[in-house]
Amino acid sequence: MRYTKVQYEKAIEHLQLRLQQLEGDALPCSICTDGGHNAYECGFNPLLAVHLCCITGKTAETLHDLVHKDGWTDEVQNRVHHFLYWLAGEQMVFGVQLGPRKMVLPHPVHGDHPYPTETPKC
Ligand SMILES: [Zn+2]
């Protein structure tokens, strides 16, 4: 998937706004100005998306290797189930949702979505 110049410019702008809120605090998000979350967990933060993609990819690769090595054992099935649970955003720690679904998804700005919204084909 190729990205447009506008999308790159938005990503750079969002990273620059992220610099204004390096530590978590009670202030609204420095990127999107919404309350209830900080810039480190904002869906507009490209670093968070990259981080979650890396974790997801590495975990999926590990689970794939386990399925080939050990077969579909109860242990492997249990680990795959926990991974899917995490992906679906159902896993919570101290009331905080974990996994990619914890991201606050970007809202369209002036009718344009700053990031691609297509669902990847599997
Ligand atoms: Zn935000």
**Same structural domain for residues 38 and 53?**
no
**Same structural domain for residues 54 and 39?**
no
Give me the domain span that covers residue 33.
1-44
Which run of H or of E encompasses 93?
strand 92-93
Q: Let me know if residue 76 belongs to a domain.
A: yes
> How many structural domains compose the chain?
2
* Dist. CA 50 → ligand 1 center (Å): 16
Tens digit of pLDDT at every position of the chain (122 positions): 788 999 899 999 999 999 999 998 999 999 889 888 888 888 888 898 889 899 999 999 999 999 999 999 999 999 999 999 888 888 777 777 778 877 766 655 555 555 555 655 54
**Same structural domain for residues 5 and 34?**
yes
Rg (CA), the chain: 17
**Same structural domain for residues 53 and 95?**
yes
**Same structural domain for residues 63 and 88?**
yes
Instruction: Report pLDDT for 56.
Output: 93
User: pTM of whole model > 0.75?
Assistant: no
* Dist. CA 66 → ligand 1 center (Å): 37
* Dist. CA 51 → ligand 1 center (Å): 16
Instruction: Report pLDDT for 104.
Output: 67
* Dist. CA 61 → ligand 1 center (Å): 30
Dist CA 9 CA 25 (whole Å): 26
**Same structural domain for residues 51 and 95?**
yes
Q: Let me know if residue 72 belongs to a domain.
A: yes
